[in-house]
Structure 1
Amino acid sequence: MTRPLCVMLVAAEASGDDRGAALARALKRRLGDGVRFVGVGGANMAAEGVESPFDISDISILGLLEGLLAYPRIMRRVADTAALAAREKPDVAVLIDSWGFTLRVADRLRKLDPNLPLIKYVGPQVWATRPGRAKVLAAKVDHLLTIHAFDAPFFEAAGLPVTFVGNGALNIDFSHADPDRLRRQLGIAPAAPILLVMPGSRPSEIERVLPAFEDAVMLLKADRPDLEVIIPAAPTVADAVKAKVAGWSRRAHVIEGDEAKFDAMKAATVALACSGTVTLELALAGAPMVVGYRLGRLTHTILKRLILTPYIVLFNIAAQAFIAPEFVQDDCNGPALAKAVAARLDDPAFRAQQVAAQYAALDKMGRGGPDPSEAAANAVLKIVGERV
């Protein structure tokens, strides 16, 4: 009997965990019992059979100084990942997002088995900053699965084969989302306005971004006693979010799980969001939003000299316009955020205009296209087949 194909999936963040789980499901639809998974991931990948040797919140690091401080821990986790590969002997490794961690894992896997196909799933945004990373990645892996159609020329010029698979965040099905269900569950009146607060999925984001969001919420609630605040907590930071919100002087509902999150996105009058994949999800749900972000001061000082685009939100980049306002670093403060959110809470026409512009940008990015996970599964099996 032929042994099952062994696929190693490695993800170090919540968005990568989602992407890895979706790829695992797509491969299982193709191969059934003919595939097994090993690797590193979070709760979603664990549900698909990927038993991670450690908690990925341990390696979800953002920022240059933070990365330096965490370096010994990161390298221990790289060694743990390599040890898993040495023990399980995968037939292919798919390294999902998380540039610093997965690049080091690629080095170790290459030394373990020079013939192991290494696939990077989501490349660095070289069109926005540090274009030299395309050449670095080309020297480390065999193939790139990209979520942006405009990625390919940058990496192909460096000699790295690229397959465009699309962005799963543009294919989320909101047809089962039920905003009324959420209102009933939380005891929120049918007509009460809802501010959805999305503070990020990394511990560093909760530390840096959530305090500014809290300040904004307090200002907004002071003027709008009927405003309901809902905070979906990502699994990687749920405990930290709940602990911090418990100390707020005004009530906010902390929710967990995808069903509740998608219900809340559809229910939102306005969202206040940390920059990231969640901005695409909110735009798909039809939620007008204000976006905030903070990095460590040293990281921001260095990066602002390297960034080639004025935008950080992907649909803003696609539109080349600030459809959703972006408040970065010192501009990400309570009064500024509250003012931008209030302008949208108080003007239904303004909200509708922003939602329409968000939809147009999503269409430009490929909204409603083929399932990216199926395309990624096709690419993985094709690459494995070429190596057999």
Structure 2
Amino acid sequence: MAASPRVAMVAGETSGDLLAGLLIDGMQAHWPDLQTCGIGGPQMQRRGFDAWWPSEKLAVHGYSMEVLRRLRELLGIRKQLRERLLKDSPDVFIGVDAPDFNLGLEADLRAAGIKTVHFVCPSIWAWRAERVEKIRRSADHVLCIFPFEPELLARHGIAATYVGHPLAGVIPMVPDRAAARAQLGLQDTDEVLAILPGSRSSEVAYITQPFFEAAALVRKARPAIKLIVPAVPALRERIVQAAQAAGLGGVVQIVSGQSHAVLAACDTTLIASGTATLEAALFKRPMVIGYHMHPLSWWLMRRKQLQPWVGLPNILCGDFVVPELIQDAATPQALCAATLQWLDARQHHPEKITALEQRFTALHESLRRNTPQLAADAIQKILHPAA
């Protein structure tokens, strides 16, 4: 067995921390004495990662205003990290998602002779197609989580490997709804709406209030419905305040974390666009996707949007299989109406729910691979091409 490498990594926010943690699992199976360091979160640290900065430092939202407010801090962190890695070079640098932070750093490290890997292909097939040139300069290899991406990258001369989506291996093909409800103190007969307003501070600022106002309207139509929110601990107090402002203070059940249990337990979910929508699809749950951001951020994003869909389940299915209510369309009334349609379908048109579950099952099967092992195998070939 080859000597264990020293691997530097950067993972931004909660989803990147989860992906990086699974990648570390695969690498540790190859190299039991693996050394990892850089920017990471609790999932990575649990596996022995030396976090020089916590991953939440990179948790920014939007395309312009939100990032600009913290740009000086982010650039300072990247400069310090680059200098530290150039002074004491790792065997390989792996940037996990966070392309705005990682690709520039990877380009500098690669120019200095350090091997670079980017895990999670930026969504050049959805928007910002011009970013492909930056990927080509920055990454020796890209680890892709969607099956169509390696061919797309190959057209631009970028080496890539499809490793499957890690969440597809973590989430069971048939979720245990009863166990999840028991864990959360819910009855099997309860009608349950899950509300997932996002894991970033700015997401909570923009979308939580419309979500809770929509939930209040849903509750007027269906008084017995149970409302449950999985909250990132750091944002819990803000979510509690938003629930109170919507008149739901004594009604909504707010739990710390446990988003997978909440998705397994619910009948439908009102959910912010992002990775969580893919998780909801893997749990085979009907959903209403909502999102709102700073108006300038939205204008800039729309100019570069390449597909009619915003939510990952719709992008991957190539169809509007679940409703999307984005920006000005994300009113409490519209969010409520779309949510009630799913709840009514469970009672009166179960064939619609069955059809959606079949689409999501096929999606799950296409994404399910042994991601930690495939990713670690690809990294081993990059480190030892002749092996």
TM-score > 0.5 by shorter chain: yes
Q: Deviations over 1:290-336 (max 9, x none)?
A: 11111210111122122111111222123221111000001112110
* Map of 1:120 onto structure 2: 118
- Conserved 8 A contact 1:194-1:268: yes
State the alpha-carbon separation in 2 of the partners of residues 215 and 38 from structure 1.
43
Count of aligned positions: 383
Q: CA deviation at 1:182?
A: 4.5
Q: Secondary structure at the match of 1:262?
A: helix
Q: CA deviation at 1:87?
A: 6.0
Q: Deviations over 1:259-304 (max 9, x none)?
A: x332221211111111112112212212111111112101111221
Q: Deviations over 1:164-203 (max 9, x none)?
A: 1111122223379654444445443331111011111222
Q: Where do 1:272-291 residues align within 5 Å?
A: 272-291=270-289
- Conserved 8 A contact 2:8-2:38: yes
Q: Where do 1:105-116 residues align within 5 Å?
A: 105-110=105-110, 114-116=112-114
* Map of 1:367 onto structure 2: 366
Counterpart of 1:198, as a letter, is L
Counterpart of 2:28, as a letter, is K
Structure 1, unaligned runs of 5 or more? none
Q: CA deviation at 1:18?
A: 0.7
State the alpha-carbon separation in 1 of the partners of residues 37 and 75 from structure 2.
19
Q: CA deviation at 1:132?
A: 1.6
Matched, 1:32 2:26: no
* Map of 1:195 onto structure 2: 193
Matched, 1:380 2:382: no
* Map of 1:46 onto structure 2: 45
Q: CA deviation at 1:247?
A: 5.3
State the alpha-carbon separation in 2 of the partners of residues 236 and 121 from structure 1.
26
Q: Deviations over 1:109-163 (max 9, x none)?
A: 346xx22101111122111222221112101221111112222233222221111
Kindly tell me: are residues 386 and 301 of structure 1, through their superposed partners in 2, closer, same or farther at Cα, counting changes over 3 Å? same
Correspondence for 2:301 among 303, 322, 331: 303
Matched, 1:154 2:138: no
Structure 2, unaligned runs of 5 or more? none
Percent identity between the two aligned chains: 26
Q: Deviations over 1:194-249 (max 9, x none)?
A: 10111112221111111111111111122322111111124664454355446552
Q: Where do 1:293-332 residues align within 5 Å?
A: 293-332=291-330
Matched, 1:340 2:333: no
- Conserved 8 A contact 1:324-1:354: no
Kindly tell me: are residues 21 and 352 of structure 1, through their superposed partners in 2, closer, same or farther at Cα, counting changes over 3 Å? farther
Counterpart of 2:217, as a letter, is L
Q: Where do 1:229-248 residues align within 5 Å?
A: 229-234=227-232, 237-238=235-236, 240-242=238-240, 244-245=242-243, 248=246
State the alpha-carbon separation in 2 of the partners of residues 255 and 61 from structure 1.
23
Q: Secondary structure at the match of 1:40?
A: strand
Instruction: Report the TM-score when normalising by structure 1.
Output: 0.90
Q: Where do 1:169-188 residues align within 5 Å?
A: 169-174=167-172, 178-188=176-186
Q: Secondary structure at the match of 1:386?
A: coil
Matched, 1:168 2:166: yes
- Conserved 8 A contact 1:230-1:253: yes
Q: CA deviation at 1:98?
A: 1.0
Q: Deviations over 1:327-352 (max 9, x none)?
A: 00011121100111111112215465
Q: Secondary structure at the match of 1:378?
A: helix
* Map of 1:60 onto structure 2: 59
Counterpart of 1:382, as a letter, is K
Correspondence for 1:227 among 221, 225, 228: 225
Q: Secondary structure at the match of 1:49?
A: coil
* Map of 1:79 onto structure 2: 79
Counterpart of 1:100, as a letter, is D
* Map of 2:9 onto structure 1: 9
State the alpha-carbon separation in 2 of the partners of residues 18 and 235 from structure 1.
16
State the alpha-carbon separation in 1 of the partners of residues 185 and 167 from structure 2.
29
Q: CA deviation at 1:76?
A: 1.4
State the alpha-carbon separation in 2 of the partners of residues 48 and 243 from structure 1.
35
State the alpha-carbon separation in 2 of the partners of residues 136 and 385 from structure 1.
25
Q: Secondary structure at the match of 1:367?
A: helix
State the alpha-carbon separation in 1 of the partners of residues 35 and 239 from structure 2.
34
State the alpha-carbon separation in 2 of the partners of residues 385 and 243 from structure 1.
53
State the alpha-carbon separation in 2 of the partners of residues 82 and 238 from structure 1.
34
State the alpha-carbon separation in 2 of the partners of residues 57 and 188 from structure 1.
31
Q: CA deviation at 1:89?
A: 3.0
